[in-house]
Amino acid sequence: MEALIHKYARKLVEAGLAEEGAPLVGGLDAELVWNRPDPDSKLLAGAFDKLEINSLLYSIPKEPYRTIIAYLASVAEGRITPSDCETRTFLHDLPVVKEFTINRVISALKGRKSVIISGVSDPTSIITWGTVSPEQAFVSFSSVCFACFVKFFADYLHDQRQGRVTPEQKEVINQVIPYLDQYPQSAPELGKAPFGSEQEVLSAISEAGAMTVRHRLVDSYFGNISYRYGNILYISQTGSSLDEMDGMVDPVPLDGSSTAGITASSEFTAHREIVQTTGSNAVLHGHPKFAVIMSMDCGKQECPIRGECHLDCPEERNIADIPIVTGEVGTGPRGLCNTLPPAIRDKRGAIVHGHGVFTLGRDDFNEAFTNLLDIEEMCRREYFKKLKEGDARTPG
């Protein structure tokens, strides 16, 4: 347990989610241990007595998340409600408490995976927990940061269009823009096809997955990756970390002759249909922030399906040459296995509404990774272009 709490404290820093020395991570095995001494550990230890957890993570987030989350918490009425896919399916909403007491924290965490502490003398902070491993707490912390980032920038663009951006919003966006990741990023050179063995395929998957995380094109570890080699689709397992793929890739025969895919990514059917209908061998799915933000941008003033548009939007929408696809994870009539393959055919990629980007590589992951980077950069440019146009229309 001690090794795990240090590992995920370090991963928070490496992911740009917390400053060095900020994360406080506790883990309960034979006894409760913390990654570092801190006066707050005594207060937080009470959560282990009241909740069925084995790990707890407490940290002030790093900029730009710190300022964004502080602002959203200040205007929230008890909870922040992002509308991206991961929040809908994983977090639901983000409770906010204004008083840092163990009873308030426990009350919030009984029903949710996280709580945001805001309104006290100390800077805004986040607490998350895990029942099996500190990894769960790390994932929840990362998802809170991602969801709040997406919500703030998506709300700002929507409010600007409506002419109701507040001075406080303007102040926040001006404060956080200097902290954004620098673009353009250069794509690394990944392993090149042809691959001569299963081991070479697994190495290519591990390399591409690790680079997707390193370039911050994914929320925590969310995302998935696959490669067709012969009649087998090698695909990341559900819940696996893209930067820790060893032993976490399932070989699934495309003819359905095996149940090996039972632990495969929940988006296995979409990956299978994509490779079978496009002729591409590599599929990469990440969650770059501005692609998610722009997929949710809609100028329609009155919409009868607002709030449900991620399921089946009747409008054909694109960002430049990239289609925006609606649908659900799974195999239903509106499952991504049905909506995504025809949309991505003959394209550099496709963006799933509120969810992320799928890109393809004909032979290996070089093309897929480059397209993932390029689509995110394009969406970021488009976002700030829209902001500039909105500012030009605003008097004064």
- Which CATH number does the domain housing residue 109 bear? 3.40.225.10
Token pair belonging to 212: 């997707």
Instruction: Tell whether the model's pLDDT for residue 225 goes beyond 60.
Output: yes
Give the tokens for residue 236.
Answer: 């990341």
Tell whether the model's pLDDT for residue 310 goes beyond 80: no
Report yes or no: 129 and 51 within 8 Å, Cβ to Cβ. yes
For residue 334, what pLDDT is reported? 79
Residues 163 and 218 in one domain: no
Range of the domain at 269: 201-389
SS3 295: helix
Same domain for 19 and 127, yes or no, is yes
How does pLDDT run across 6-30, given as a tens digit for each residue?
A: 999 999 999 999 999 999 999 999 8
pLDDT band for position 307 (cuts 50, 70, 90)? low
pLDDT of residue 301: 64
Residue 351 lies in a domain: yes
pLDDT at 141 over 80: yes
Residue 332 confidence (pLDDT) above 80: no
pLDDT at 312 over 70: no
Most confident of 77-91, 136-150, 214-228, 327-341: 136-150
Same domain assignment for residues 256 and 142: no
Tell whether the model's pLDDT for residue 396 goes beyond 60: no
Give the mean pLDDT of 176-190: 90
> Do 171 and 34 belong to one domain?
yes
Share the mean pLDDT of the chain.
Answer: 90
The pLDDT tens digits for 28-69 are 998 999 999 999 999 999 999 999 999 999 999 999 999 999
pLDDT score for 304: 59
Q: Which residue has 């009539």 as its token pair?
A: 333
| Residue at 185 is within a domain | no
Band (121; pLDDT cuts 50, 70, 90) = low
Please tell me the total count of domains within the chain: 2
Within a domain: 225:
yes
Q: Which residues pair with 285 in a beta bridge?
A: 224, 358
Note the Cα 163 to chain centre separation in Å.
29
CA torsion angle for 364, 368, 374, 380 (degrees, to 10)?
-150
Per-residue confidence at 77, pLDDT binned at 50, 70, 90?
Answer: confident
Is the same domain home to 159 and 61?
A: yes
pLDDT of residue 259: 61
Both 159 and 281 in a single domain?
no
226 and 139 both lie in a single domain: no
**What phi, psi does 268 have (nearest 5°)?**
-55, -45
pLDDT tens for residues 78-120? 999 887 766 666 668 899 999 899 999 999 999 999 999 998 7
**Nearest to residue 227, comparing CAs of 74, 362, 51?**
362
- Same structural domain for residues 230 and 378? yes
pLDDT at 337: 86
Q: Is 258 part of any domain?
A: yes
- The residue whose two tokens read 């673009």 is 183
Is residue 301 situated within a structural domain?
Answer: yes
Q: Are residues 111 and 255 in the same domain?
A: no
Q: What is the pLDDT of residue 65?
A: 97
Residues 245, 158 within the same domain: no
43 occurs within a structural domain = yes
Instruction: Say how far apart CA 196 and CA 209 lie, in whole Å.
Output: 20
Q: What's the whole-number mean pLDDT along residues 301-330?
A: 76
Residue 257 shares a structural domain with residue 312: yes
Whether residue 173 is found in the same domain as residue 294: no
- Of 124, 146, 179, the last residue of a domain is 179
Quick check: is 371 in a domain?
yes
pLDDT score for 84: 75
Lowest mean pLDDT among 90-94, 190-194, 280-284: 90-94
Percent of the chain predicted with pLDDT > 70: 91
Q: What is the pLDDT of residues 363-380, one digit of tens each?
A: 999 999 999 999 999 999
Tell me if 375 is assigned to some domain. Answer: yes
